[in-house]
Amino acid sequence: MDMSAKDRIRIFDTTLRDGEQAAGGNLNVAEKLQIARQLGKLGVDVIEAGFPAASPGDFACVDAIAREGLDSIIAGLSRTREEDIRACHAAVKAAPRHRIHTFIATSPIHMQHKLNMTPDEVLREIRFAVSLARELAEDVEFSAEDASRSELPFLIQAFRTAAEAGATTLNIPDTVGYATPEEFQEFCRSIIEGTAAPDNVVYSVHCHNDLGLAVANSLAAVHAGARQVECTVNGLGERAGNASLEEIVMALKTRSDRYGLASGLDTTKLHPTSALVSRLSGIHVPPNKAIVGANAFAHQAGIHQHGVMANPLTYEIMKPEDVGASGTELVLGKHSGRHAFRSRIEELGYVLTPDQSERAFALFKKLCDNKKNVSDEDLAALIADEILLTSIENLYDLKHCSVKTGEGPALAVITLGNGQGDISDAATGNGPIDAAYRAIRRAIDLEPELLSFNIKATSDRSDSLGETTVILRSGGVTAPGRGVSTDVIESAVKAFVNGVNRLHVLASAKGVELGKKSENHYE
Ligand code: KIV
Ligand code: ZN
């Protein structure tokens, strides 16, 4: 579809910023780079890469993404403080096209209880922040946090102030997911009419999903004139998440009769992008999730199956191949060569350096000794866990793990390398994984709390790989961990060790000390 700028919806992806704020979502720089590259291939207009002033680690991630030379605009978030705005600019400026996204709350409840500021002070902050950002960058977005609970006349004043100071995008967030579609459409229309910003200014919308209305509210705002939608892959995000990118994009495409608008995205990349984000974030996609869930195109009822066989349009409003869910899985085996291997991992959304690719190929060949057929899921799990996870500096590596089960409690013996030598310990527990986790805690003299634990098979077959995800916490630091192996116990042990390594990386980035074990109660 040939579309003018007025008919085009810009997709602003905030998976790496708002999405990453979801529980336990601490992606490392290698993982964020993979996601950013895939978002670039998908064709999103803007990638919000992070919040550079939040920590040196966040700054480094945004800077690394900015240096990738992607076609998408790279944005960073910043409060209205001078140091935030300067840090944001420093982090995004290497990108050929970059944006400073600054925000402040405009609702009475936020101004009074969070900011402790009068409305006049907030207006002064907006003028200051947007003017400074415009001195540094041509592309500046202003967001009025909690816009949907703000008073309309004040909100219009806030947006006018931002537009006068040079903002090129004005964003209307439903921060707490409180809006309903009809009301929000009216609200956005009134803002757009009332602000009457110059023609080059784009109105944007950013909806949270607390009432399950984020996508509906975003589309209502589009009806009112918004031409940028902020969203995340798989709807990832704080609390109930953000508007789901794939749902917005496919609603615009499937119902172009209704909207007459299009995003420029390559929708056949939606499925691989969703799988990549789900695997790297450790947050699984429910099977009934629209567009990207495992059952989104599965027809169970006999009457439906009959209809679909006669003519797919009887029950299918989109074709699975339109979203990259063709279901034809290429299975690789020990005779597959480098070329087939490389093109398959690229189709799965991974872009590896030549060195990573060689290592991955060697691991794949090793896996073929244990498994006749290596599926897409096996391959993606292998890359995510063996290549991306090892890109962080590991304090510990797993040297040996053996478990004994049978009558009575299980017994685990663990050996870890710590760069200076080997440390070993043993413990009993309620099953082999519990015993192994207790042995690791003893060996490292640290008691990370296990907040979440999940083991998943990469296929329905008994020769499947086991993929474990955990979320650990210690000393106020939370980190995810992942592990994969044909042996499920080993996958669980690897995940715990990986979580511990990530806890150390995050703790040192934050300058905090992980809580030491006070007394040994894991006997
Ligand atoms: O939800 C929100 O209000 C935000 C803003 C910072 C855009 O994420
Ligand atoms: Zn948000």
- CATH number of the domain at 427, please: 3.30.160.270
| pLDDT for the residue numbered 380 | 84
Claim to verify: residue 91 and residue 154 sit in the same structural domain: yes
| Domain assignment present for 180 | yes
Element (H, E) at 136: helix 119-136
Could you tell me the distance, in angstroms and rounded to a whole number, from the CA of residue 215 to the centre of ligand 2?
13
* pLDDT tens per residue, range 372-425: 778 888 888 888 776 776 666 788 999 999 999 998 999 999 999 998 999 999
Claim to verify: residue 252 and residue 368 sit in the same structural domain: no
- Span 150-162, average pLDDT: 98
| pLDDT for the residue numbered 518 | 42
- Residue 26 DSSP symbol: -
| pLDDT for the residue numbered 519 | 41
How far apart (Å, rounded) are the C-alpha atoms in residues 31 and 23? 17
Claim to verify: residue 47 and residue 120 sit in the same structural domain: yes
Instruction: Please say if the pLDDT value at position 520 is more than 60.
Output: no
Q: Name the residue at shortest CA distance from atom 7 of ligand 1.
A: 143
pLDDT interval class at 355 (50, 70, 90):
confident
| C-alpha 210 chain-centroid distance | 18
Q: Return the structure tokens found at 399.
A: 């040297």
Report the Cα–Cα distance between both ends of the chain, in Å, rounded.
Answer: 67
Q: 């685990």: which residue's tokens? A: 412
CA 313 vs CA 143, 246, 254, 257: distances in Å: 41, 20, 13, 17
Claim to verify: residue 378 and residue 430 sit in the same structural domain: no
Residue type, 157: Q
Instruction: Please say if the pLDDT value at position 447 is more than 50.
Output: yes
| pLDDT for the residue numbered 23 | 53
Per DSSP, helices labelled H in 197-314 are 214-224, 245-254, 256-259, 270-281, 302-310
> How many domains does the structure of the chain reveal?
3
Please, are residues 335 and 365 in contact by the beta-carbon 8 Å criterion? no
Q: Return the structure tokens found at 418.
A: 């710590």
Claim to verify: residue 214 and residue 70 sit in the same structural domain: yes
Q: What is the domain extent for residue 168?
A: 10-281
CA 361 vs CA 191, 331, 342, 372: distances in Å: 54, 15, 8, 16
User: Order of strands, edge to edge, in the sheet holding 466-474?
Assistant: 449-457, 466-474, 477-485
Residue type, 481: G
State the chain's mean pLDDT as an integer. 90
Could you tell me the distance, in angstroms and rounded to a whole number, from the CA of residue 497 to the centre of ligand 1?
34
| Domain assignment present for 518 | no
Could you tell me the distance, in angstroms and rounded to a whole number, from the CA of residue 376 to the centre of ligand 2?
33
Q: Please choose from 20, 176, 208, 210 the residue to mutate so as to test ligand 1's pocket, defined by most ligand atoms within 8 A of CB.
A: 208
Among 56, 46, 58, 134, which residue's Cα sits nearest to residue 95? Answer: 46
Beta-carbon contacts of 326 under 8 Å, excluding residues fewer than 6 positions away, are 320
* pLDDT tens per residue, range 241-251: 999 999 999 99
| Domain assignment present for 170 | yes
- Span 215-231, average pLDDT: 98
> In degrees rounded to 5, what are phi and psi of residue 497?
-65, -40
Atom of ligand 1 nearest to the CA of 230: 7
User: Higher pLDDT residue, 295 or 42?
Assistant: 42
Q: How many CB atoms lie within 10 A of CB 319?
A: 12
* Lowest mean pLDDT segment, chosen from 79-83, 255-259, 505-509, 519-523: 519-523
Could you tell me the distance, in angstroms and rounded to a whole number, from the CA of residue 283 to the centre of ligand 1?
21
Please, are residues 348 and 269 in contact by the beta-carbon 8 Å criterion? no
Of the residues 223, 249, 281, the one at which a domain ends: 281
Please, are residues 207 and 177 in contact by the beta-carbon 8 Å criterion? yes
| pLDDT for the residue numbered 522 | 32
CATH code: domain of residue 190 = 3.20.20.70
- Residue 470 DSSP symbol: E
Claim to verify: residue 376 and residue 455 sit in the same structural domain: no
Pocket of ligand 1 (CB under 6 A): 18, 77, 103, 143, 145, 171, 173, 175, 206, 208
Beta-carbon contacts of 282 under 8 Å, excluding residues fewer than 6 positions away, are 24, 454, 469, 471, 480, 482
| Bridge-based pairing state of the strands 98-105 and 477-485 | unpaired
What are residue 47's DSSP bridge partners? Answer: 13, 74
